[in-house]
Structure 1
Amino acid sequence: MPKAAAVMRLPELLAGAASLVALAMTVPAHAQQEDEQLWLQANVHVPLDDNTRVTLEQITRFSDRMDGVYTTEYGALFGQKVTKGLEFGFGYRHVSFYNGNRNRDEDRFRQQLVGNYGRFSFRLRLDERFHPEGDEIGFRIRPLVRYNLPVNKKGLALFVSHESFYLPNATRWGQKRGYERMRNLVGFVVPISAKTSADIAYLNQYRLGRDGARAQMDHALSVQLTINLGAKRKRDIHPGD
């Protein structure tokens, strides 16, 4: 696509991202609670060979309503390229909660398929949640789609993404079956070096109100640093957390 045409599409992409957020905002303000947050994430891709890599991840999230850090996550993900543009991965995360977040710490295993086709990328992830208050496993299905629009030849790009969370089962320790939340992002991929880039974005997370609980909307500044130790020229686009 010519550079001029790409620039002309910026308003269309921004309008599309705004419409996703507007869908979540159809709930009256008095019926939902809102929060301002900061999400930080660091990813390090370590290549084992041309088709295999390990990704180390660390996440910290801050909340105004919960008085500071409310979640941290530490994990690792093993990825294997199965075809051109398609990667299968599996991994583990330990999730801890703090301050106003009264949830118990939990362990999560996950499997995922990640695909890249031109400017589009997708991820289909399955989570298994292990909770200390019960022996049942809570499953989560998380489809994500993302569009990247290059802005210049140095690697700067605009992106928009949407992720849905569907919980196929309920547990006695608290997981409720059904569509739980959505995450929408709009932001920029900022190149730092040949091996390092940062996704800086506005993140809107909307949790549906279910079983008498109030709906919640989170407005977050999301900063995600990705270091790809195997990168040469082409920068790797990390699909998200």
Structure 2
Amino acid sequence: MPLFRYIAAPLAIVVGTIPAHASEHDEQIWTSMTGTTTLFDNVDATLELHGRYTDEVSRLGQVLIRPSLTLRLPRGWSATAGYVYVHTRFARTVANEEHRAWEQVAYIFKQDRATGLSISGRTRVEQRFRSDSEGVGWRLRQQLRAQLPLPRGPLRVVVWNETFVGLNTTRWDRHKGIDQVRTFIGASLPVAVAARNDDRPELQ
């Protein structure tokens, strides 16, 4: 029977420059839930659900649904392909829907068994489509991540940075070059077998 692993990341507070048509500075709360099941010896299926409360945390401004398949490779590497549905409606704007196909390679730079320190990265390419406009937007996302268990207890310190780079422009997205930079400093706490809970302040 495939093993089901449940990951909950219930809180992310975002303050900074928000893309699309939101105000230049906006306090947000992001929620996410992820479920993963093993299909074969080295193939996993994952479903992520994200809800983002925007406009000074006054409303659910964005919903993301992200299914994917991951092929686990030797030495901690993996290759993933997936799809994302994004529904966005900020205050005083017209709702829009975006569809994304994406491909990703994840890799490990360093893994110290003595300390538990892990330094990893992932490179993701997205092809973005809008139902109300023409054109395919290509975007590169590069993330670096470090994780270190504390000497006592299950708590882990997590730090990561992700840079978004637009590779072209479309009628609906004029952002070419660096579009966003997200930095996360926080903690990861296992709450059950094969589960964890992240409380994460995030700067975008």
Shorter-chain TM-score: what band?
0.7 to 0.9
The alpha-carbon deviation at position 153 of structure 1 amounts to: 5.4
Match of 1:98 in 2: 89
CA distance in 2, matches of 1:171, 1:163: 23
Match of 2:174 in 1: 175
Residues 62-211 of structure 1 mapped to structure 2, 5 A cutoff: 62-65=53-56, 67-100=58-91, 102=94, 104-116=96-108, 117-118=110-111, 119-152=118-151, 154-205=153-204
Is 1:45 the counterpart of 2:36 in the alignment?
A: yes
Q: Percent identity?
A: 25
Scaled by the length of structure 1, what TM-score is found?
Answer: 0.68
- The structure that is strand-richer by fraction is 2
Match of 1:4 in 2: none
CA distance in 2, matches of 1:182, 1:144: 10
CA distance in 1, matches of 2:95, 2:162: 23
Q: Helix, strand or coil for the counterpart of 2:96?
A: coil
Question: Which letter maps to 1:40?
Answer: T
Contact 2:156 2:189 (8 Å CA) reproduced: yes
Root mean square deviation, CA, Å: 2.0
> Which 5+ residue runs of structure 2 have no aligned equivalent?
1-15, 18-22, 112-117
Q: Helix, strand or coil for the counterpart of 2:30?
A: strand
Match of 2:6 in 1: none
CA distance in 2, matches of 1:44, 1:77: 11
The alpha-carbon deviation at position 135 of structure 1 amounts to: 3.0
The alpha-carbon deviation at position 99 of structure 1 amounts to: 4.2
CA distance in 2, matches of 1:176, 1:105: 18
Contact 1:124 1:141 (8 Å CA) reproduced: yes
Structure 1, residues 30-67: CA drift from partner, whole Å, max 9, x if none?
A: xx942211110111111012211000110000124373
CA distance in 2, matches of 1:35, 1:41: 19
- The structure that is helix-richer by fraction is 1
Contact 1:67 1:99 (8 Å CA) reproduced: no
Contact 2:29 2:57 (8 Å CA) reproduced: no
> Which 5+ residue runs of structure 1 have no aligned equivalent?
1-23, 26-31, 206-241
Structure 1, residues 102-158: CA drift from partner, whole Å, max 9, x if none?
A: 451111110001123311111111111011233311011000001111114543100
Contact 2:28 2:55 (8 Å CA) reproduced: yes
Q: Helix, strand or coil for the counterpart of 1:62?
A: strand
Contact 1:66 1:99 (8 Å CA) reproduced: no
Scaled by the length of structure 2, what TM-score is found?
Answer: 0.80
CA distance in 2, matches of 1:35, 1:83: 42
Instruction: Judge which range, 66-75 or 36-45, deviates more.
Output: 66-75
Counterparts in 2 of 1:164 and 1:175: CA distance versus 1, 3 Å: same
Length, aligned pairs only: 176
Question: Which letter maps to 1:77?
Answer: S
- Return structure 1 stretches of 4+ with deviation > 4 angstroms: none
Counterparts in 2 of 1:60 and 1:164: CA distance versus 1, 3 Å: same
